[in-house]
Chain A
Amino acid sequence: MSDEKKTPKEKIGVYVCHCGTNISAVVDVEGVRDWVQKNMAGDGVVIARDYKFMCSSLGQELIEKDIKELGLTRVVVAACSPHLHEKTFRTAAENAGLNPYLTELVSIREQISWVHTDKAVATAKAKSLVAGTVKRVVNNEALEKLKVPINANTLVVGGGIAGIQAALEIANGGFHVYLVEREPSLGGHMAQFDKTFPTLDCSACILTPRMVEAGTHPNITVLTWSEVTNVSGYIGNFSVTIKKKSRCVNEELCTGCGICIEKCPKKVIDDTFEAGLGYRKVIYTPFAQAVPNFPVLDQPNCTYFEKGTCKACEKFCPTNAIDFTQQDQILNVEVGNIILATGYDLFDASRMTNYGYGRLANVYSSLEFERMSNSSGPTNGHIVLRDGKTKPETVGIIHCVGSRDKNFNNHCSAICCMQSLKFAHLVKEHTGATVYEFYIDMRTPAKSYDEFYQRIIDEGTVFVRGKVAEISDIPRIPDEEGKLIIQVEDTLVGKQRRIPVDMVILSNGLEPRADAKQVGKLFGISCSSDGWYIERHPKLDPVTTMTEGILIAGCASGPKDIPASVSQGAAAAARVMDKILQKEVELEPVRATIDEDKCSGCRICNNMCPFSAILYIEDKGVTRVNPALCQGCGTCIAACPAGAISGTGFSDEQILAQIDGILMAV
């Protein structure tokens, strides 16, 4: 029903966009324009226009002109999604002296012309959506953006190469960074690698300087053996709780001399850094170049904590730095932005029983091989069978283990082809063995990657195109006795082959961290269906997330090689510094406010707010909202039985009027 009786209190201009033919092909733009002109005059529509590209400067000028000349008090633009151009048109209105929040955008492209085909139906829907917004905009209020200062400190979670890069960029920019790492040392997976493809320079040689720089940088507080346990606040003003786990080592006193490690009588298998292939002491630093180089005492395995005796480390420590009573520390830090560079987990190959990992001794995981070929690794760089001495004469390298497989991970792990080629080279270099590579598709897209592939072919590696079906230790013919037999279809020949080898190296895929979902929840960002963190835009905005102030870098958002991870670390840092340099952030003025006269102090709303923005004022017996903490979700508004809470930008009046509009007879 239209409201001819009342004289409209606002002067509204409606602008319908063709978006070239994106909209006009399916929606009768002129039809919509005329209908609004005719039927919504009663609601205050004084002018309705259509234009080829409203977002063009000419289109914007059209609006500005009307505001000035016709004295429009409200503007409605029917074009694309508000997430695309709301800002554009609000700025245009602002330039013409109209408060930006009196302009509304109707999505008739994403919600109509791109998803419907029947022109009549589409046009009708367009009319009702416009009508809804016209009736809504009448109830819009002039609002001012809230400006809050940005805390110049940044939290970087994850001390791998991406996190280190991000931290260094920001620190060098002159701002403080808290770099939190859950393991005892910085370095991440890169520290475990031997060589890096395709240049084959030593991983440690290029990583160590960066780790040291981060470890000694005046602007970086490195917190290893630490985990973030709580995050609250919003962009510019996060407060973060960090648990610094007990090392049983007093960092003030410890010089990192390493005598305690030497004297510790107990060895355990190192499942983390040595990928289970080697041993470490119970008090240890994961590797020689560890940053920081304070050791960590592995309490569950420590004889003293088990039996109450030993204390060898304490006895021999020259600076009495060993402290068995040390407790976990809880630190609170205030930061303005947070970068998550939490990395990846390696696919657990024992899940593929047909490859026999964990059953057949000489089947190795990629990380085991990295450690084995590393001169500082458990075999001092000697590539040997599980017996610890025999050199392999034939080696099979298997691609796509747990990747590109609907039974495990659907995605391509991006790095395995190059990693496997690198393995082939290393095996040849160290042992001169015959090497077979089993691949489905060879993926070498980045700079000088395919040249590396050429080089490995030239080195005489045998390439077999086919996903390996099984690895067996059951011989069928004498030649297979005592060997591992790789059974595969050579798809380029079209025949099944059984290739006996001494050693198999699996190129394990990359998986999202097992705890990615919980961590995401902690920081208020979400994972895609396959478990990686979702970027704000996969192409145009790969390092930010839907949550302002939370950024992602490196493998946290999907498999990446070192160059890509480093670039993302730097990119995230640039984004953060951009925000810091703005000194303050503008927050959308979408907030809840409480009319204290109407508030009965029932406190129903009090436990509705997850940001504790709602405070009960005991003496007044009423509740108030802290606008800086309020995020504008509006849950309290809907909960208030007295209708005492109202929400700017999304008030009851606006929404109820919009319902009226979209249900108008068209």
Chain B
Amino acid sequence: MTEKFEPVIVGFTCNWCSYRAADAAGTARMKYAPNVRLIRLMCSGRLDPSFVIKAFATGADGVMISGCHPGDCHYISQNYKALRRYLLLRRTLAGFGIEPGRVKLVWASAAEGLKLTEEINAFVEEVRALGPLNWPKWDGAAEVFESELAPHIATEVPA
């Protein structure tokens, strides 16, 4: 039998809720699928949709975005903005011919380690079912991003 497809998933987590939920899951030794690699943001509102595109272009098969429950945002209401962007992003991706199912928005509070692991496991299976993302694999992709970003880097205002 052929070995089953192991999707690569990038997860963007809010520093206040879901990243702590991941810590909680760890402390409680809850086992879950190793396919997700987390990147910490201060808030789901920080998520620039281009991060998701970048992740796909660089080889991710799925992207998970997690934030505080509606109404519980550490920054009052930014998770709603994340929600709006997420919905728009899904449509855009569909336009690109990418299954919207490859992006998932999850609410998980700091207390919800179990929920987070369940969501991760579920999402891994969903992406596994979709199969590998056949994004045009062209070596230049990264460089283009670099060059587009060059101006940013050049004019970065030091804090």
Contacts and interface: CB of A to CB of B under 8 A. Distances in A.
The answer to whether any beta carbons of A and B sit under 8 Å apart in the complex is: yes
Nearest to B30: A115
Given A116-B34, A129-B37, A646 B157 contact: yes
Nearest to B16: A546
B27 A650 contact: no
26 contacts: A83-B20, A114-B27, A115-B26, A115-B30, A116-B34, A132-B37, A517-B71, A526-B68, A526-B72, A534-B111, A546-B16, A589-B159, A611-B75, A633-B45, A633-B78, A634-B41, A634-B43, A638-B49, A646-B156, A648-B159, A650-B42, A650-B46, A652-B149, A652-B152, A660-B142, A663-B59
Interface string A632-653: 1111011100010011111111
Contacts of A82: 40
B8 A524 contact: no
B55 A526 contact: no
A632 B75 CA distance: 9
Given A81-B23, A652-B149, A653-B149, 7 more contacts: A1-B142, A107-B22, A107-B23, A116-B32, A608-B45, A633-B42, A659-B39
Given A81-B23, A125-B34, A547 B74 contact: yes
B54 to A, nearest CB: 5
B155 A633 contact: no
Interface of B: 8, 10, 16, 19-20, 22-23, 25-27, 29-32, 34, 37-43, 45-49, 51, 54-55, 58-60, 68-69, 71-72, 74-78, 81-82, 85, 109-111, 117, 139, 142, 145, 149, 152-153, 155-159
A633 B42 CA distance: 5
Given A118-B34, A524-B74, A662-B37, A111 B156 contact: no
B30 A546 contact: no
Given A114-B29, A115-B32, A141-B159, A83 B23 contact: yes
Central interface residue in B27, B46, B152, by most chain A CB within 10 Å: B46
Nearest to B39: A658
Central interface residue in B25, B48, B74, B149, by most chain A CB within 10 Å: B48
A643 B39 contact: no
- Give the contact-size bracket for chain A: 35 or more
Given A529-B111, A634-B42, A653-B149, A659 B155 contact: no
Contacts of B78: 610, 633, 635
A143 to B, nearest CB: 6
A635 B72 CA distance: 16
A110 interface: yes
A352 interface: no
Contact of A111 (B22, B31, B159): B22
Contacts of A598: 155
B32 A663 contact: no
Contact of B85 (A110, A143, A638): A638
A62 to B, nearest CB: 25
The 10 closest A-B pairs by CB, nearest first: A110-B26, A634-B46, A635-B45, A633-B75, A633-B43, A610-B76, A648-B159, A638-B48, A114-B26, A526-B72
Nearest to B111: A528
Contact of A590 (B34, B42, B54): B42
Contacts of B39: 132, 655, 658-659, 662
A618 interface: no
Nearest to A638: B48
Interface string A522-534: 0010101100001
Contacts of B32: 115-116
A661 to B, nearest CB: 10
Contact of B45 (A109, A141, A597, A634): A634
Interface in A71-124: 81-84, 107, 109-112, 114-118, 121-122
A589 B158 CA distance: 12
A194 B43 CA distance: 49
B37 A650 contact: no
B36 to A, nearest CB: 9
A547 B81 CA distance: 21
A366 interface: no
A591 interface: yes
A521 interface: yes
B155 A595 contact: yes
Interface string A620-639: 00000000000111110111
Interface in A164-202: none
Given A593-B159, A637-B46, A662-B37, A109 B26 contact: yes
Nearest to B26: A110
Given A115-B26, A652-B152, A659 B81 contact: no
A521 B26 contact: no
Contacts of A84: 23
Contacts of B51: 655-656, 659
A656 B12 CA distance: 12
Given A115-B25, A143-B159, A655 B75 contact: no
Given A526-B72, A634-B43, A116 B85 contact: no
B29 to A, nearest CB: 5
B135 to A, nearest CB: 12
Contact of B37 (A117, A125, A653): A125
Given A111-B22, A635-B45, A651 B10 contact: no
A84 B27 CA distance: 12
Interface in A256-274: none
A128 interface: yes
B71 A521 contact: yes
Contacts of A608: 45, 81
Given A590-B42, A608-B81, A646-B157, A110 B22 contact: yes
Contacts of A658: 39
B19 to A, nearest CB: 8
B60 A653 contact: no
Contacts of A591: 159
Nearest to A589: B159
Contacts of A524: 74, 76
A95 B103 CA distance: 43
Contacts of A121: 34
B26 A111 contact: yes
Central interface residue in B31, B32, B42, by most chain A CB within 10 Å: B42
Central interface residue in B8, B71, B85, B156, by most chain A CB within 10 Å: B156
Contacts of B46: 633-635, 637-638, 647, 650
